[in-house]
Amino acid sequence: MPSRMAVAAAITLAMTTLGAEAADRSVDRGFATRSEVIGANGMVATSHPLATQIGLEVLKAGGTAIDAAIAANAALGLMEPTGCGIGGDLFAIVWDPKTRRLHGYNGSGRSPRGLSRAWFDEQGIDRIPSFGPLPVTVPGAVDGWFALHGRFGRKPMAELLAPTVRYAREGHPVPAVIAEAWAISVRRYADFEGFKAQFTIDGRAPAKGEIWKNPNLARTLERIGREGRDAFYRGEIPATVERYMKAQGGFLAASDFAAHRGEWVDPVSIDYRGVRVWQIPPNGQGIAGLQILKMLEGFDLSGMSPTDPRYVHLFVEAKRLAFEDRARWYADPAFFRAPVAELLSDRYAAERRRLIDPERAQLKVAPGNPVLDTGDTIYLATADKDGMMVSLIQSNYRGMGSGMTPPGLGFMLQNRGEQFALVAGHPNEYAPGKRPFHTIIPGFATKDGEPWLAFGVMGGAMQPQGHAQIIVNLIDFGLNLQEAGDAPRIHHGGSTEPEGQVAAMADGGVVNLESSFPHDTRRELLRRGHRLQDAPASLYGGYQAVMRDPKTGVYFGASESRKDGHAAGY
């Protein structure tokens, strides 16, 4: 029998060995769920494993990063209808290795031309509802596919949509996170005409692991692949939508589809500690993330971490200020030209930063005046062997959308119009043929003029907050691509809304922290005057990213643990 000393020595050796093995793991940062994915010839990161596989197969077959993004996005519309679909809008940022520049695409749809601002007043409506026929705007995603494909695609559109058509007919198993969101959606949309017939199995949501089919969507996508963009914006599909919308008391018409066009835009950027971070300009909210970063740049975050109460406090205070500007200045540039350059200037960031008390939370803040001196979503990232990188985000807005599900088409229409203000004189005031304030934002970052990072964090108002946190995690805290997404996240809510109306908790709002934040952090934030509140996991969004090593050209991919998906390369 071994002696007590021998047993103790064996236990000590075992504990030492276990500790050494843990320390040798590449994900030993405490909050990383897996290592980064690495590939030399291409990378795809999405929120659904099958969508990632479809995109990767397109790359292997010689398709471009845009081809892969379109194919993956189509698949997500079928497989994750709780976050996206062809009834919604699309934004993208593309690095083109041939021209060596970034191209932005704003694929947001406009309000019905037959619905006037006066109609709301006549009906006594002072805020556009979240669901039903009134918040519906023209879906811009399909137009976006063809615009992006026309400039950067290589494979025929029918070939890109074929895998989704096949899965829609033959079926695919539903993963856990999507199944949970689907069950919530059934409770929300059950009474809307057409929903149960096209998005349930005998009136219920598909369960985790259950096979889901959508033959109506298969026919719609097959027609789009065969006949092109006009199959969606002219002819039978928009005519079906118009008949349905009229029956539901809505205004979206076939003529609104025919008039739709997305637009190419120049992305805007800031320098953050030597890295240039890019966003699509308004009517999207992307520059809110840039404003947050510009304010944070004036603070020394070295020696802190994602859970340090000093950092959390500074982040929340910068977010409060940026979101007040978001509510005041962001709108459709065809109707109101936001002072983007001024909002992102060093002078204005310094002016707003001076309002931040490092020791105390602000209970009330107001939007700034940057011109005083001058008069919910899916995200995916792809990259190909030629160096093209794509950051693409697509959404129906609140979950599955408006609840408006035209018969026989297999998709739901978005409810983006809810974001319009019914406030006279507000930049985002409703008008016919106008694009609403938009939440979906693709992110990109470059280093020394070279493409570095395609990234995004889906999830309504979480998106600019998430974008800023990812950049800080990578640059200030030195986390790798996977760790940056898995790190515990901050969400602040209760700011003034884009519609110009003050939220119920505008007296400082509330700070939501994921469960892995330590007790000491929570206690210190309470001492500084913050109000803390628990929140569901879905509030913190979903992150995907592809990073390129500028020296070797090797790609790194990441997909966080809050979603069902993954990154894959080859």
Share of the chain above pLDDT 70, in %: 90
What tokens does 1 get? 């029998």
**CATH superfamily for domain 32-171+213-400+410-416+423-490+538-570:** Gamma-glutamyltranspeptidase, small (S) subunit (3.60.20.40)
Q: Report domain extents, the chain.
A: 32-171+213-400+410-416+423-490+538-570
Average pLDDT over residues 357-366: 84
pLDDT at 6 over 50: no
Higher pLDDT: 275 or 34? It is 275
DSSP letters for 7-48: HHHHHHHHHHHHHHHHHHSTTTTSS--SPPEEESS-EEEESS
Tell me the whole-structure pTM to 2 decimals: 0.91
Secondary structure E strands in 260-373: 263-265, 268-272, 275-279
pLDDT digits (tens, 9 = 90+) for 548-569: 999 999 999 999 888 999 999 9
CA–CA separation, 250 vs 166, rounded Å? 33
pLDDT at 164 over 50: yes
For residue 503, name the pLDDT band (cuts at 50, 70, 90). Answer: very low
Q: What is the pLDDT of residue 50?
A: 98
For residue 29, name the pLDDT band (cuts at 50, 70, 90). Answer: low
pLDDT digits (tens, 9 = 90+) for 427-471: 999 999 999 999 899 999 999 999 999 999 998 889 999 999 999
Lowest mean pLDDT among 97-111, 216-230, 362-376: 362-376
Q: Which residues of 341-357 are buried (b: 16+ CB within 10 A; e: fewer)?
A: ebbbbeebbebbbeebe
Average pLDDT over residues 347-368: 87
Residues in Cβ contact with 350 at an 8 Å cutoff, skipping those fewer than 6 apart: 298
pLDDT digits (tens, 9 = 90+) for 109-133: 999 999 999 999 999 999 999 999 9
What single-letter DSSP state applies at residue 425? T
For residue 371, name the pLDDT band (cuts at 50, 70, 90). Answer: very low
What single-letter DSSP state applies at residue 370? T
For residue 208, name the pLDDT band (cuts at 50, 70, 90). Answer: very high
CA 500 to chain centre: 22
Rg (CA), the chain: 24
Q: Where are the alpha helices (DSSP H) in 153-205?
A: 157-170, 176-189, 195-199
Q: What is the pLDDT of residue 377?
A: 82
User: Taking CA 200 as the corner, what is the angle to CA 195 and CA 206, rounded to the nearest 5 degrees?
Assistant: 150
User: Which residue among 307, 377, 439, 446 is the active-site one?
Assistant: 377
Q: What is the pLDDT of residue 13?
A: 35
Q: What is the pLDDT of residue 365?
A: 72
pLDDT digits (tens, 9 = 90+) for 40-87: 999 999 999 999 999 999 999 999 999 999 999 999 999 999 999 999
Enumerate the β-bridge partners of residue 383: 43, 389
Under a CB-based contact definition with an 8 Å cutoff, are residues 503 and 509 in contact?
A: yes
Under a CB-based contact definition with an 8 Å cutoff, are residues 279 and 125 in contact?
A: no
Q: Is-catalytic flag, 377?
A: yes
